[in-house]
Amino acid sequence: MQDSLRLVAEDICTGITRETGEHLYWQWDNRFDTALAQFNITDESVIRAVLDRYLSVQWDSSAANSAPVNIQNVLSRLGGLKGGQLFWTSSAEADEYVYCAWWPWGNGEKISIRLAPAWLHTQNETPENDVHMVMRWFGIDPD
């Protein structure tokens, strides 16, 4: 991964973390290798506004099939998009981007979001130090 791509991803992730600070507590999701936060539906508009500022492209379940292959690959790894779920990306064209998966809970009261740079998922094996670096961007202690 190029340093310039890492810096862009870091700026996006730390910006989202900073602007959602009072609304979100981040933890690491080992299943998907992403930062994970959940929040009450009452904070939805605040969180969406922040995501819209940093991640310029949004996909829903009806548009996911027309997404570029690089985005479909990450969506597939996450299990695809179901009704009500959203997927933001920092770019629709680039191979390297930051994404956010938006998954409302069935009870209608909470939403989970998962964020990561796509390059964490495009390597055959992600080096542990890359995962730890991304964890720190979200204020998650890797130890």
How do residues 102-143 score in pLDDT, each as one tens digit? 999 999 999 999 999 998 876 655 678 889 999 999 999 987
Give the whole-angstrom CA distance, residue 63 versus residue 111: 21
pLDDT attached to residue 126: 64
Q: Is 4 exposed, middle or buried (0-12, 13-18, 19+ CB in 10 A)?
A: exposed
Please report the sign of the dihedral spanned by the C-alpha atoms of residue 114, residue 111, residue 86, residue 23: negative
Model-wide pTM > 0.85: yes
**What does the radius of gyration of the chain's CA atoms come to, in whole angstroms?**
14
